[in-house]
Structure 1
Amino acid sequence: MENKPRETFLITGGSGYFGHRLACSLYKKGARVILFDTVPPLQEVPDDIVFVQGDICDYDQVEKALAGVDCVFHIASYGMSGREQLNRHLIEAVNVQGTHHVLKACVENRVSRLVYTSTFNVVFGGQVIENGDESLPYLPLHLHPDHYSRTKSLAEMAVLKANDTALKDSSEVLRTCALRPAGIYGPGEQRHLPRIVGYIERGIFRFVYGKSSSLVEFVHVDNLVLAHELAAEALTPEKQRRSAGQAYFISDGKPVNNFEFFRPLIEGLGYPFPKLRLPISLIYFFAFLTEMIHHLVGPFYNFQPLLTRTEVYKTGVTHYFSMGKAKVELGYEPQEYNLNEVVQWFKCRGHGKQSHNSFLGQFLLNILFAAAFVAMVLSFLPVVGS
């Protein structure tokens, strides 16, 4: 039997947490792997994994990096959370222009497969969604509460539209698909979990918000790796290219209250779970004020907002989706995971109850309650002109 040729995969944004995990999985299965990113990976990678330093906003660098590649995992993005969400110019450049650069470079280099890492946000903007599926329309662009979600929608549309584009000097065409993951977690995740643990340790995480019955979803990093590998395989002729031109929601398939999901982490680090529950409208108003303040002082002091409006919606409003399409067309069967590994990862790095509450944490908490008081006062004031 003739051996299957060794495939070459390029991962944009490959130095990040998920990119590194995907790269190592592909490498273990015998693939050649190229990481394309602006910075080298923080974690160790096998010597045979190639790192190419480059900026997705620079087309020439992208085009050069894609030479000889069989499949691209386009996961690079900017503006997902925190103060990054407020940098509209860079969000646009990376998420929209960068995606067009990748698509053009695929055509020029005759790369026949591209898997795009999208987001739930392309259909969600704060409205309740229960067991939604891929038949849901894109959220109208003007209804997105943040520029990240808006640009991810535009990028996903461009990727799926590019399916069946003829490759340069070839009879082949480009096959594309998009995965829409929930919030990613796992040991070593560097975007959301350290921020949450920081709030816990500084004494800021003293309350929850929204209804206790609200449900959201998460996806373990290894389930997301599995989904990407299956999606890339489903773009091949051997799998009848069944994922070509398609989008798929990806999660662990277990809707859960956002704060209850993090209870094992909070209590595992030795902290009490908050008993105070605030209305989501109040927290949304606080996030709105924070964004307005950041807009004014951001050019001089780029502080990290406690929450943005989008983060309030994503954590406090019910939205979860069916995995039916991914299971049938990709063969996706998520494995069961919990936060035990995450708790141990933080404990091994000195986190836990021994970290005392700081003055800054209490100060920020006082600001939050002051904002809550102002919000309530304003709600009783007469509207000018009424």
Structure 2
Amino acid sequence: MAVSILITGGAGFVGSAIIDAVQEKHPQWKVSVLDLQMLSHPRNNVHYERGDITLPADIERIVHLVRPTAIIHSAGFIPELASRYNRKARNRAFSVNVEGTRNVLTIAKSAGVEVLVWTGSCTAVTDDTAAEALVLAANDEKFATCALRPSVIFGPGDGQLIPSLYSCIMKGETPYILGSGLNLWDVTYVTNVADAHVLAVENLLSSRTAAGEAIFISNEQPIPFRDFCLAVWREFGHYPPFQVHIPRSIAAFAGVVADWMSWLTGIQTTLSNGSVNDACATRYCSGTKAREVLGYVPKVGLEEGIKRSCEEYRRRCKFGEKHDILEQ
């Protein structure tokens, strides 16, 4: 069976990893990309088109050009952490993540696309801007859809998690422990997320046991948030010189005050009510459905993933990022 895959957001962090995973496992599949940005060094044997998922005409153009068998819809707007916490980017997030997804689904169905895999998030269970309900409702006998819910994604090219944790070193914030420091978190290495997407496409093109399903994806290694931070900082040769435990109630109050100060001054601080909630929350999930339905097994473990991610970020900073990397 000749398979043509269209990957929205294929020039981004996760999308690029998905392309690599597809080409490694199915080199015969035809791969196309729709993205707002174009890569300076595009992947070989991949057709790239510039386009915006909030504009139906852009989607229609590439869908009718490449006639995809399946779409991996990984395009989305992820606000910077500060913007996400203070909701400044809410309208943009809704336009791209919800209305953009609606556009992709509508056009895919009308064009006879067989399969769509949506890159969602574990926050779909609480986030009112999630498009997951649209994706799952679109599933039918002719158009198989599923939603993947990866936990926080990190890896080479990560623009949020590793850089944010590294910035804590530069700001002298590493000694402070919000809450107990024992709350478990799930994270997912980016190539594991990419592998899950390939498995989902394979499933929907064959047995379809994943059709209409929302599936959590993680490294299946829950870790206390504090321990994850310490592991990242160690890769940069940093060890907190002392430790100060701040009870969650006090941290939450300080976060609210920081939010008000940011609103008044226009200067965003690292501390916020949202960052306190994230640092103190327990967020991990079961990998049972991913294993049983998709056959998903994370190939890159947490320790190796942290090492690879920090090595890449060190190189990135050396060649032009704003932070000075500490010598180990």
Q: Please, what TM-score do these two structures have when normalized by structure 2?
A: 0.87
Matched, 1:262 2:229: yes
One-letter identity of the residue aligned with 1:73: I
Over the residues paired in the alignment, what is the CA RMSD in angstroms? 2.2
Matched, 1:242 2:185: no
Check whether the contact 2:162–2:310 (CA below 8 A) recurs between aligned residues: no
One-letter identity of the residue aligned with 1:228: H
When residues 175 and 204 of structure 1 are mapped into structure 2, their CA distance, relative to the original with a 3 A threshold, is same
Matches within 5 A, 1:198-217: 198-217=167-186
Matched, 1:189 2:187: no
Matches within 5 A, 1:340-351: 340-348=307-315, 349-350=317-318, 351=324
1:239-261 Cα offsets, whole Å, 9 max, x none, are: x2110000111101111111201
When residues 90 and 296 of structure 1 are mapped into structure 2, their CA distance, relative to the original with a 3 A threshold, is farther
Partner residue in 1 for 2:321: none
Partner residue in 2 for 1:71: 70
When residues 332 and 37 of structure 1 are mapped into structure 2, their CA distance, relative to the original with a 3 A threshold, is same
Among 25, 34, 37, the residue aligned to 1:36: 34
Once the two structures are TM-superposed, the CA of residue 352 in structure 1 deviates from its matched residue by 3.0
Check whether the contact 2:77–2:93 (CA below 8 A) recurs between aligned residues: yes
Q: Tell me, in whole angstroms, the C-alpha distance in 2 between the residues paired with 1:288 and 1:78.
A: 25
Check whether the contact 2:31–2:46 (CA below 8 A) recurs between aligned residues: yes
Once the two structures are TM-superposed, the CA of residue 193 in structure 1 deviates from its matched residue by 1.3
Please give the secondary structure, in 2, of the residue aligned with 1:334: coil
Matched, 1:119 2:121: yes
Which protein is bigger by CA-based radius of gyration?
1
Once the two structures are TM-superposed, the CA of residue 310 in structure 1 deviates from its matched residue by 3.8
Partner residue in 2 for 1:319: 283
1:205-256 Cα offsets, whole Å, 9 max, x none, are: 34121213211111111111111111111111x3x21100001111011111
Once the two structures are TM-superposed, the CA of residue 45 in structure 1 deviates from its matched residue by 2.8
Q: Tell me, in whole angstroms, the C-alpha distance in 2 between the residues paired with 1:109 and 1:84.
A: 36
Identity fraction in percent:
28
One-letter identity of the residue aligned with 2:22: L
Q: Tell me, in whole angstroms, the C-alpha distance in 2 between the residues paired with 1:337 and 1:183.
A: 12
Partner residue in 2 for 1:286: 254
One-letter identity of the residue aligned with 1:158: L
When residues 312 and 109 of structure 1 are mapped into structure 2, their CA distance, relative to the original with a 3 A threshold, is farther
Matched, 1:59 2:61: no
One-letter identity of the residue aligned with 1:52: E
One-letter identity of the residue aligned with 1:160: L
One-letter identity of the residue aligned with 1:201: M
Check whether the contact 1:201–1:353 (CA below 8 A) recurs between aligned residues: no
Partner residue in 2 for 1:88: 90
Residue segments in structure 2 that go unaligned for 5+ positions in a row = 319-323
Among 10, 22, 27, the residue aligned to 1:26: 22
One-letter identity of the residue aligned with 1:101: N
Q: Tell me, in whole angstroms, the C-alpha distance in 2 between the residues paired with 1:8 and 1:294.
A: 48
Q: Tell me, in whole angstroms, the C-alpha distance in 2 between the residues paired with 1:203 and 1:121.
A: 29
One-letter identity of the residue aligned with 1:66: V
Among 196, 209, 220, the residue aligned to 1:253: 220
Once the two structures are TM-superposed, the CA of residue 99 in structure 1 deviates from its matched residue by 0.9
Please give the secondary structure, in 1, of the residue aligned with 2:223: coil
Please give the secondary structure, in 1, of the residue aligned with 2:200: helix
1:30-86 Cα offsets, whole Å, 9 max, x none, are: 1222221111136x3323212211111111111222220111111122245423322
Please give the secondary structure, in 1, of the residue aligned with 2:95: helix
Check whether the contact 2:150–2:188 (CA below 8 A) recurs between aligned residues: yes
Check whether the contact 1:235–1:242 (CA below 8 A) recurs between aligned residues: yes
Q: Tell me, in whole angstroms, the C-alpha distance in 2 between the residues paired with 1:305 and 1:174.
A: 45
Once the two structures are TM-superposed, the CA of residue 92 in structure 1 deviates from its matched residue by 1.2
Q: Tell me, in whole angstroms, the C-alpha distance in 1 between the residues paired with 2:231 and 2:82.
A: 27
